Structure 1
Amino acid sequence: MEIYHKKQNLNQFVKELKAQKLSLGLVPTMGALHDGHLSLIKKALENNDRVAISIFVNPTQFDNKDDLKKYPRTLESDVELLKTVSNDIVVYAPTVEDVYGDNVASVNYTFDGLEHAMEGKFRHGHFDGVGTIVKRLFEIVQPDNAYFGEKDFQQLMIIKKLVEKHNIPVNVVGCPIHREKDGLAMSSRNTRLKPEYRNASPFIYKTLLAAKEKFGTKSANTVTEWVEKQFENHELLKLEYFTIADTQTLKTVKRKSKDKTYRAFIAVYADDIRLIDNIALN
């Protein structure tokens, strides 16, 4: 397994791959790999001759400096885990300087309003940082296909919009949410949960499933109020937001329409760890 820390070395690998007319898939990650990441990698391996994994904790998408500082960095164990999957993987694990040079800053993007809902409302500048790093990775790695999990559904939609607006020749593939046996959406942040909060956290998915069932017969407002009430008296979990939105525009639903698809989105604090999840409603 090749590990590249400098883009110029990775560029040579990509150049040779293109000369052989072999396809390349990319799975961008911030490391602390888990089975959710591996499901994306396995999907990429099915559809491409070679797969590149980027492992890079991107500073420009963190609105909370403490969260950036505490984010797990486990490159050595990540590489060992990747070795159990395939030898057709290359790793790009750059320094901040290799990606950004002397200018560690986000580009200001507009994503036709997708960036203003949910995560964008609560994490100032987050999607500028996401757009900046993803566009940069696409330029460096030059993949044919790129794979993103639906746990970050809003991010997935924004990356598709980024590709569309900037005419980037990459096929963006969304992959299903990978869950723990108790329903908790897999996340690198889960490793930081204290035991009592980890034990409480499956309540999030359980609530989403109940909301989906209610959405079949109740209005979006009624379901939203019900979810908010479930968290009001919860001893450990604090609801930041719950929203039912149109999957295309990500705008909050006021009145249901039979010809549209909807998704429920949620963000919850378990102590100081922020957990997000979502579920398709129809």
Structure 2
Amino acid sequence: MAVFHKKELLRAELLGLKKEGKSIGLVPTMGALHQGHLSLVKEAAAKNDVVVVSIFVNPTQFDNKDDLSKYPRDLNTDVQLLSPISPDIIVFAPTVEEMYTDNVSSASFDFDGLELPMEGRYRKGHFDGVGTIVKRLFEAVEPHHAYFGEKDYQQLLIIKTLVKKHRLPVQVHGCPIEREENGLAMSSRNERLTKEQREEAGFIYRTLQTAKEKFGTDSVTEIREWATEQFQKHPMFNLEYLEIADANTLKPADHKVKDKKYRAFIAVYADDVRLIDNIALN
């Protein structure tokens, strides 16, 4: 399996493959790969001749320096996990200096308001960091297709907007959330949970499932209040937000409108580990 650390060497390799008429699929990751990531890689491998998996912990999308320092990093293990999928996967694992040179800062983006609620409200500058690194990855790899998990649904919509506004020649695909046996959305941060927290964290998804059931009969306000009460009773988790929003605009819903699609979004803390999830409501 080829591992590249330099953009120019990667570009040279991909240029030759593109001249052969091969399609390129990109799966951007921050490493600490799990089955959720691997499902994206498998989807990309099924639909493209060549798959590039980027592994880069992007400092500009962390608003919490402690979270950045604790983020798990193990390139050798990541490569071992990718090998059984295909020996022809290309790994791009640049340094911070390679991606940012001397200026480790974000560009400013306007994502038509998609960046303002939920994650944007609680993680200032996060989506500027996401937009900055994803744009640079797209420019370095120039993929035909790129694959992102729906666990980060807000991010998925923002990246689609980024592509449209900057006229980037890549098709962005969202892929279903992969879950652990208890329903917990797979995430690299799950590795930081204690055994008990990880077992109990299925409570987060069960809350979303019940919110979906209640969406047919209860008001948006009643669902939010009910969810808040459930977490107040659970000593292991602190609810940061549960939001019900338009699935296309991400604008918070005050009430339900016929023929509109909605999703419920949630962010929860287990001690200092932050977990997010979402579910389609209709």
**Counterpart position of 1:68:** 68
* Higher alpha-carbon deviation: 253-262 or 242-251: 253-262
Q: Which amino acid aligns with 1:224?
A: R
Please give the alpha-carbon distance, in whole angstroms, between the structure 2 residues aligned to 1:257 and 1:86: 46
Please give the alpha-carbon distance, in whole angstroms, between the structure 1 residues aligned to 2:204 and 2:101: 40
2:125 pairs with 1:125:
yes
* Higher alpha-carbon deviation: 108-117 or 218-227: 218-227
Q: CA deviation at 1:194?
A: 1.2
2:189 and 2:273 in contact (8 A); partners too: yes
Report the 3-state secondary structure (helix = DSSP H, G, I; strand = E; otherwise coil) of the residue aligned with 1:27. strand
Identity %: 64
Alignment: residue pair count: 282
**Counterpart position of 2:91:** 91
**Counterpart position of 1:140:** 140
Report the 3-state secondary structure (helix = DSSP H, G, I; strand = E; otherwise coil) of the residue aligned with 1:115. coil
2:279 pairs with 1:279:
yes
Please give the alpha-carbon distance, in whole angstroms, between the structure 1 residues aligned to 2:52 and 2:215: 40
**Counterpart position of 1:152:** 152
Q: CA deviation at 1:233?
A: 2.0
Please give the alpha-carbon distance, in whole angstroms, between the structure 2 residues aligned to 1:103 and 1:237: 37
Q: CA RMSD in A?
A: 0.6
Q: CA deviation at 1:17?
A: 1.3
Q: Which consecutive unaligned segments of at least 5 residues does structure 2 have?
A: none
Please give the alpha-carbon distance, in whole angstroms, between the structure 2 residues aligned to 1:83 and 1:18: 22
Please give the alpha-carbon distance, in whole angstroms, between the structure 1 residues aligned to 2:88 and 2:174: 21
Q: Alpha-carbon deviations, 1:185-242, whole Å to 9, x = none?
A: 0000000101221122110001100000000111111111111110012111000000
* Higher alpha-carbon deviation: 119-128 or 198-207: 198-207
Q: Which amino acid aligns with 1:22?
A: K
**Counterpart position of 2:53:** 53
Report the 3-state secondary structure (helix = DSSP H, G, I; strand = E; otherwise coil) of the residue aligned with 1:148. strand
**Counterpart position of 2:165:** 165
TM-score by length of 2: 0.99
2:250 pairs with 1:250:
yes
Q: Alpha-carbon deviations, 1:14-53, whole Å to 9, x = none?
A: 1101111110000000000000000000000111000000
2:25 and 2:44 in contact (8 A); partners too: yes
Please give the alpha-carbon distance, in whole angstroms, between the structure 2 residues aligned to 1:96 and 1:89: 22
State the 4+ residue runs in structure 1 displaced beyond 4 angstroms: none
2:244 and 2:263 in contact (8 A); partners too: yes
Please give the alpha-carbon distance, in whole angstroms, between the structure 2 residues aligned to 1:193 and 1:199: 9
**Counterpart position of 2:112:** 112
Q: Alpha-carbon deviations, 1:108-133, whole Å to 9, x = none?
A: 11100000010000000000000000
Q: Which amino acid aligns with 2:213?
A: E
2:17 pairs with 1:17:
yes
**Counterpart position of 1:185:** 185
Q: Alpha-carbon deviations, 1:143-186, whole Å to 9, x = none?
A: 00000000000000000000011111110000000000110000
Q: Which consecutive unaligned segments of at least 5 residues does structure 1 have?
A: none
Please give the alpha-carbon distance, in whole angstroms, between the structure 1 residues aligned to 2:182 and 2:197: 13
